[in-house]
Every structure is written in structure tokens, then in C-alpha cells.
């Protein structure tokens, strides 16, 4: 969960100028956050969130920390599947 919090902090820092990609990231992080709290996460929701994050993360140049955090949460979420 600390990775999710880290991502949300970076989203606030990077908000100016990257509004649309940040919305996509935020929405997908929220889905993962809620699903990973569940005893039995819904795999379809987790897959959709992973796909959304993978699609947007390359578009954000210069945000190495955010990309690393997104990569970490994707790897963690894949283990849930």
C-alpha cells in the first residue's frame, strides 16, 4: 500500500501540465487499491487497471520515480492474478 500512496503523492506533484494522463493513472490506482483490499480481488478489474497503467506510463517523460512506482504496483498486482 505504501507504493500506492507514493504514486498518489507524485500525481499531486506532477499535476500541472499532465492532467489527462494523471487522471488515467489515478483512476487505475484507485481500482487497484480497492481490489487489493478485497479477500478475493476481481481479476478482470485488476487486469483492466494494469492495462490502463501500462498504456499511460510511457507517455510521462521525466517521471522516473512515478514510473518505478507504477511498475512496482503492476508487478505486485500481477502476483495477485
Dump pLDDT digits (tens) for 30-70: 999 999 999 999 999 999 999 998 888 776 655 667 778 88
pLDDT at 62: 54
Q: What angle do CA 3, 63, 21 make, to 5 degrees?
A: 85
CA-CA distance, 81 to 73, in Å (whole number)? 13
CA-CA distance, 46 to 12, in Å (whole number)? 23
Amino acid at each position: 500500500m505504501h507504493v500506492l500512496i507514493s504514486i498518489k503523492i507524485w500525481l499531486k506533484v506532477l499535476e500541472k501540465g499532465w492532467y489527462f494522463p494523471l487522471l488515467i493513472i489515478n483512476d487505475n490506482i484507485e481500482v487497484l487499491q480497492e481490489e487489493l483490499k478485497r479477500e478475493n480481488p476481481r481479476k478482470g478489474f485488476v487486469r483492466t487497471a494494469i492495462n490502463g497503467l501500462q498504456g499511460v506510463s510511457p507517455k510521462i517523460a521525466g517521471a522516473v520515480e512515478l514510473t518505478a512506482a507504477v511498475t512496482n504496483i503492476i508487478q505486485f498486482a500481477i502476483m495477485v492474478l
